[in-house]
Amino acid sequence: MVMHQYLATCPAGVGVYLAQELEQLGAASVVERPSGVTFEGALGLAYRVCLWSRLANRVILQLDAAKADTADGLYEAAMSIDWLQHLAPGRSLAIDFSGRSPDIRNEQFGARRIKDAIVDQFRQRGVGRPSVDLREPDLRIHARLHRGHLSLGVDLSGESLHRRGYRLDGGLAPLKENIAAAALWAAGWPAMSEAGQALIDPMCGSSTLLLEGALMALDQAPGLSRAGFGFDHWAGHDDAQWRAIRSEADERAQASLTSSVEIRGYDGDIQAVRHSQNNIARLGLEKFVRIRCKDLASVTRPTHKDLSGGLVVANPPWGERMGSVSSLHLLYNALGDLMSREFEGWRGVVLTSDLSLGKAVGLRAAKRRAFQNGRLDLHCLQFELTADNRFRDLDTASQKPLASSPQAALSGEAEMVANRLRKNRRRLSPWLRREGISCYRVYDADIPEYAAAVDIYNGHPHIAEYAAPKSVPDDTANRRLEALVQAVCNVFEVPAVDRVAVKRRERQKGPGQYQRLEQTGERLVVSEGAVRALVNLHDYLDTGLFLDHRPLRTWVAQEAKGRHFLNLFSYTGAATLHAAAGGATTSTSVDASATYLDWFGANLALNGFSDRQHRAIRADVRSWLAEETRQYDLIMLDPPSFSNSKRHDDFDVQRDHFALLELAMARLTGEGYLYFSTNSRRFKLDARALEKWQVSDITQQSIPEDFRRNQRIHACWRITHL
Q: What is the CATH number of the domain that holds 27?
A: 3.30.2130.30
Gyration radius from the chain CA atoms: 33
Give the CATH number, domain containing residue 423: 3.30.750.80
Regarding whether 208 and 112 lie in a shared domain, the answer is no
* Contact partners, residue 254, CB within 8 Å, separation at least 6: none
Regarding whether 104 and 39 lie in a shared domain, the answer is yes
Determine the pLDDT at residue 480: 93
Regarding whether 144 and 25 lie in a shared domain, the answer is yes
pLDDT in tens, 413-458: 999 999 999 999 999 999 999 999 999 999 999 999 999 999 999 9
Q: Which domain holds residue 622?
A: 524-721
Does residue 202 lie within any of the structural domains? Answer: yes
Q: Exposed, middle or buried by CB within 10 Å (0-12, 13-18, 19+), for 165? A: middle
Q: Count the domains in the chain.
A: 4
Question: Which of 289, 339, 280 has its CA nearest to residue 310?
Answer: 339
State percent of the chain over pLDDT 70. 93
Question: Which of 263-272, 399-408, 514-523 is least confident?
Answer: 399-408
Q: Which is higher by pLDDT, 610 or 346?
A: 346
As beta bridge partners, residue 40 has 5, 28
Q: How far apart are CA 371 and CA 351, in angstroms?
A: 10
Q: How far apart are CA 444 and CA 554, in angstroms?
A: 23
Q: Do 307 and 343 contact (CB within 8 A), yes or no? A: no
Regarding whether 194 and 277 lie in a shared domain, the answer is yes
- The pTM of the full predicted model, rounded to 2 decimals, is 0.82
Regarding whether 334 and 193 lie in a shared domain, the answer is yes
- Boundary residue ending a domain (453, 473, 506): 506
Q: What is the 3-state secondary structure (H, E, C) of 447-481?
A: CCCCCEEEEEECCEEEEEEECCCCCCCHHHHHHHH
pLDDT band (50, 70, 90) for residue 403: very low
Does residue 182 lie within any of the structural domains? Answer: yes
Phi, psi at 638, each rounded to 5°: -130, 75
Determine the pLDDT at residue 407: 56
Does residue 618 lie within any of the structural domains? Answer: yes
Q: Which is higher by pLDDT, 474 or 685?
A: 685
pLDDT in tens, 695-705: 999 999 999 99
Determine the pLDDT at residue 520: 66
Does residue 170 lie within any of the structural domains? Answer: no
Determine the pLDDT at residue 325: 56
The mean pLDDT of 360-364, rounded to a whole number, is 93
Regarding whether 304 and 433 lie in a shared domain, the answer is no
Does residue 406 lie within any of the structural domains? Answer: yes
pLDDT in tens, 562-587: 999 999 999 999 999 999 999 999 99
Regarding whether 379 and 337 lie in a shared domain, the answer is yes
Cα torsion 532, 533, 537, 539: sign:
positive
Regarding whether 33 and 84 lie in a shared domain, the answer is yes
Determine the pLDDT at residue 505: 58
Determine the pLDDT at residue 374: 86
Give the CATH number, domain containing residue 701: 3.40.50.150
State percent of the chain over pLDDT 90. 75
The mean pLDDT of 357-375, rounded to a whole number, is 93
Does residue 511 lie within any of the structural domains? Answer: no
Distance of CA 418 to the CA centre of its chain: 46
pLDDT band (50, 70, 90) for residue 506: low
Task: Check whether 1 has a pLDDT greater than 50.
Answer: yes
H/E segment holding residue 557: helix 550-559
Question: Which of 389, 407, 449, 454 has its CA nearest to residue 428?
Answer: 454
Does residue 679 lie within any of the structural domains? Answer: yes
Task: Check whether 157 has a pLDDT greater than 50.
Answer: yes
Strands in 136-196 per DSSP E: 139-146, 149-155
Regarding whether 134 and 41 lie in a shared domain, the answer is yes
Does residue 253 lie within any of the structural domains? Answer: no
Please state, rounded to an integer, the average pLDDT across all residues of the chain.
Answer: 90
Determine the pLDDT at residue 399: 47
Regarding whether 496 and 417 lie in a shared domain, the answer is yes
pLDDT band (50, 70, 90) for residue 504: confident
Note the residue count of the chain.
722
Cα torsion 194, 378, 326, 588: sign:
negative
Regarding whether 355 and 212 lie in a shared domain, the answer is yes
Determine the pLDDT at residue 684: 96
Determine the pLDDT at residue 404: 44
Cα torsion 546, 547, 552, 554: sign:
positive
Regarding whether 359 and 407 lie in a shared domain, the answer is no
Q: Do 589 and 570 contact (CB within 8 A), yes or no? A: yes
- Boundary residue ending a domain (384, 412, 428): 384
* Contact partners, residue 280, CB within 8 Å, separation at least 6: 207, 211, 286, 289, 291
Determine the pLDDT at residue 173: 54
Q: Which is higher by pLDDT, 130 or 170?
A: 130
Q: How far apart are CA 487 and CA 174, in angstroms?
A: 56
- Boundary residue ending a domain (325, 349, 384): 384
Determine the pLDDT at residue 13: 96
